[in-house]
Amino acid sequence: MKSFTTLTLSLGILSVLLAANPGITQNSQSSAPRIPSNSPNTTINVTKRSGNCPSNIKLWTSFRSYEGGGEHTVIADTGAIANAARLNNSGAKFVEFTAPLKSEFASCVGEATSVEEPIYSFRFNKKNVIFRMDLSPVPGERLTRISYKGVVSSRPAIKWAISD
């Protein structure tokens, strides 16, 4: 009887933990975000080293809270400066997209990093813009997970979750 009680208690605790953390129970890939109808809400200034560079680049960012954490959505508004993006590289803690710059910005060599969210950065070089999200700086005790990485309307799009 004691082992049955222990098993019942263990299963009860496990079910509570799973229910409290949607990131564990949801599919590893969530649905693709849509381009919002409003203007991008984050502007990152471009530091030019040489060539003709845009003065800034914009992102749509949003955050949806849930018990135990939340989900960030970010879409880089590269449409004005570059052609269609493609997923270049990714891992458990980072995603990187590349897009060929439009001819007027093809000579740009520079970079841009978000002051508020330094996990988002851009590099301009060799006629391309590279958009990178790197979760490595997020404190280790906070669990993070990339739940979507893809191209939406030719723009890089990422969803990622974080626990409290």
- From the CA atom positions of the chain, what is the Rg in Å? 20
Return the pLDDT at 30.
74
Return the pLDDT at 27.
39
Q: What pTM did the predictor assign?
A: 0.79
The Cα angle at residue 158 between residues 79 and 97, in degrees rounded to 5: 55
The two three-digit tokens of residue 86, written as one number? 């493609």
b/e 36-61 (16+ beta carbons within 10 angstroms → b): eeeebebebebebeeeebbeebbbbb
Domain range for 117 is 2-163
Return the pLDDT at 25.
37
Return the pLDDT at 137.
85
Report strand pairing: 128-134 vs 144-152: unpaired
The per-residue DSSP string of 32-65 comes to: PP---SSPPSEEEE-EEEES---SEEEEEEEEEE
Scanning the structure block, which residue is given the tokens 């739940």?
147
Measured between alpha carbons, how far is residue 50 from residues 82, 105, 124, 152 in Å? Answer: 17, 11, 10, 30
The two three-digit tokens of residue 69, written as one number? 């954490």
Task: Tell me the β-bridge partners of 111.
Answer: 47, 123
How many domains are there within the chain?
1
Q: How far apart are CA 42 and CA 83, in angstroms?
A: 20
Tens of each residue's pLDDT in the chain, 164 residues: 454 444 344 334 334 334 444 443 343 457 889 888 999 999 999 999 999 999 999 999 999 998 888 999 999 999 999 999 999 999 999 999 999 999 999 999 999 999 888 999 999 999 999 999 999 888 776 788 999 999 999 999 999 999 87
